[in-house]
């Protein structure tokens, strides 16, 4: 009888153990909104893999592209037509070492060009548009 109770108790303990799911890494659906006064050509986002969004016109928003995971800050590059020639602009380099994942959601990176002389893109993330299941 003691063996039977021990087996039942062991089964109940093992069955009650449940792995708590932490915030999952992704997938995250990402789109780009151009809030600058320039059309952005050959827009690329680098989140462990490089994805090209093509051309995003002034005040336009791209479609969503799914990434396995995304972060609040990412490396974005684009070419901008300045005085008839395409000049490459980029956001600052990003170190993802201690950065928190965005999780399973849809996000928008808003890209702006505050000063066209330093070839720097600024970006801001707009999270939690809706959860992905």
- pLDDT value at position 36? 92
Question: Mind listing the pLDDT tens digit for each residue in 20-68?
Answer: 455 577 799 999 999 999 999 999 999 888 999 999 999 999 999 999 9
Q: Is residue 5 part of a domain?
A: no
SS3 18: coil
Q: Is the CA virtual torsion 90, 92, 96, 101 positive or negative?
A: negative
Q: Report pTM.
A: 0.76
Q: Is residue 60 part of a domain?
A: yes
Q: Is residue 15 part of a domain?
A: no
- pLDDT value at position 75? 93
| Burial state string for 12-37 with b = 16 or more CB within 10 A and e = fewer than 16 | eeeeeeeeeeeeeebebbbbbbbebe
- CA–CA gap between residue 25 and residue 82 (Å, rounded): 38
**Range(s) of the domain holding residue 78:** 26-126
Rounded average pLDDT over 85-104: 88
Residue 15's pLDDT band, with cuts at 50, 70 and 90, is low
Q: How many structural domains comprise the chain?
A: 1
Rg (CA), the chain: 22
- pLDDT value at position 131? 43
Q: Is residue 85 part of a domain?
A: yes
Q: Is residue 88 part of a domain?
A: yes
CA distances from 37 to 34, 57, 81 (A): 8, 9, 11
- pLDDT value at position 22? 52
48: phi > 0 → left, psi -120 to 50 → alpha, else beta; which? Answer: left
Q: Mean pLDDT over all residues of the chain?
A: 84
Q: Is residue 1 part of a domain?
A: no
Q: Is residue 4 part of a domain?
A: no
Q: Is residue 121 part of a domain?
A: yes
Q: What is the CATH number of the domain that holds 31?
A: 2.60.40.2890
Q: Which stretch of 74-88, 91-105, 119-133 has the lowest confidence by average pLDDT?
A: 119-133
For tokens 């956001």, the residue is: 91
């Amino acid at each position: 009888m003691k063996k039977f109770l021990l087996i039942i108790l062991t089964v109940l303990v093992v069955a009650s153990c449940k792995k708590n799911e932490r915030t999952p890494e992704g997938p995250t659906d990402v789109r780009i909104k151009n809030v600058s006064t320039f059309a952005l050509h050959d827009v690329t986002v680098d989140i462990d893999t490089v994805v090209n969004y093509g051309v995003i016109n002034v005040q336009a928003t791209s479609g969503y592209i799914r990434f396995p995971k995304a972060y609040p800050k990412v490396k974005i590059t684009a070419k901008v037509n300045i005085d008839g020639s395409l000049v490459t602009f980029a956001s600052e380099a990003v170190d993802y070492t201690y950065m928190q994942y965005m999780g399973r959601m849809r996000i928008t990176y808003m890209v702006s060009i505050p000063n066209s002389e330093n070839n720097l893109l600024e970006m801001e993330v707009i999270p939690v548009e809706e959860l992905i299941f």
